[in-house]
Amino acid sequence: MSRPVEQQVARESKAARSMLLRMSTVHLEGDLFAAPCLPRGLEYHADFLSRDDEQALVARFATLPFREATFQQYTARRRVVRYGRVHDPGTRAFVDGEPLPAWLADVRSCVATWRNVPAERFVHALVTEYRPGTPIGWHRDKPEYGMVIGLSLASACRMRFRPYDYPHDRRAAIALELAPRSLYVMEDDIRWRWQHSIPPARALRYSITLRTQAVRRQAEGERAVT
Ligand SMILES: O=C(O)CCC(=O)C(=O)O
């Protein structure tokens, strides 16, 4: 018999799935942040960036020292540049990495102002390049980070979500079409009780991921807060 929390997530997931299916028929052009039945903490905002801003950022990315992302002993195909508080795989500690360059600090300020939080709360920034055919597998972001905000650039992708506690229940998984220039927010349930992934990119795509520091680590079984 499923536990109450599973039943609740399953209910939310079913409602979210039907909402997203309906939304996808209108190509997710609208603003989903007010949608009542998305999993708690998931927001999607179309057209957050202008076309000019997107173009300027993509031109910046051409100058970045991208490197294949590593995870434990694996090397992923996506290429990344990390700034701010970063995880050092050697020592497994969080350390101060490269400071954000001015153009990325501007993006952070813009997102922070929109979110009504101090920019410094976003202690980490990541730029990721997905060449065609490059995926990101199922994962939940490191617990040292709190709220996660992502910006999509250059091409669309479909971001998938599945409940962390029962990842193989295919009926519970949902998908969100991320248009270029859109922004998503993950906090609360979607951040802590769900995993996400993106299947192989159909065309070159970039993302900027901003993460706050989790303000408090809680006992196992409880959720951290953003
Ligand atoms: O590209 C994205 O929008 C997702 C990035 C992501 O999930 C990650 O880097 O952990």
What pLDDT digit, counting tens, does each position of 119-157 carry? 999 999 999 999 999 999 999 999 999 999 999 999 999
Name which of 2, 30, 1 is nearest 179 in CA terms: 30
* Substitution candidate for ligand 1 out of 70, 79, 161, 198 with most atoms within 8 A of CB: 198
Task: Place 92 in a pLDDT band, splitting at 50, 70 and 90.
Answer: confident
Is the CATH code 2.60.120.590 the one for domain 4-213?
yes
**Closest ligand 1 atom to the C-alpha of 80?**
9
Overall pTM surpassing 0.85 (yes/no): no
Strand boundaries in the chain, DSSP class E: 42-45, 67-71, 74-88, 93-96, 122-130, 136-139, 145-153, 157-163, 174-178, 183-186, 194-198, 205-213
Name which of 221, 201, 222, 225 is nearest 77 in CA terms: 201
Nearest protein Cα to ligand 1, atom 1? 207
Q: What is the pLDDT of residue 34?
A: 43
Mean pLDDT estimate for the chain: 85
Backbone angles phi, psi at 34, to 5 degrees: -90, 0
What pLDDT digit, counting tens, does each position of 199-213 carry? 999 999 999 999 999
Q: What is the pLDDT of residue 71?
A: 74
Q: What is the pLDDT of residue 7?
A: 56
Query: Does residue 33 carry a pLDDT above 50?
Result: no
88 vs 57, which has greater pLDDT?
A: 57
Q: What is the pLDDT of residue 79?
A: 97
What pLDDT digit, counting tens, does each position of 171-189 carry? 889 999 999 999 999 999 9
Q: What does the domain layout of the chain look like in residue ranges?
A: 4-213
Angle, helices 51-61/102-115, rounded to nearest 10 degrees: 140
**209 CA to middle of ligand 1, Å?**
7
Task: Place 65 in a pLDDT band, splitting at 50, 70 and 90.
Answer: very high
Indicate the pairing of strand 194-198 with strand 183-186. unpaired
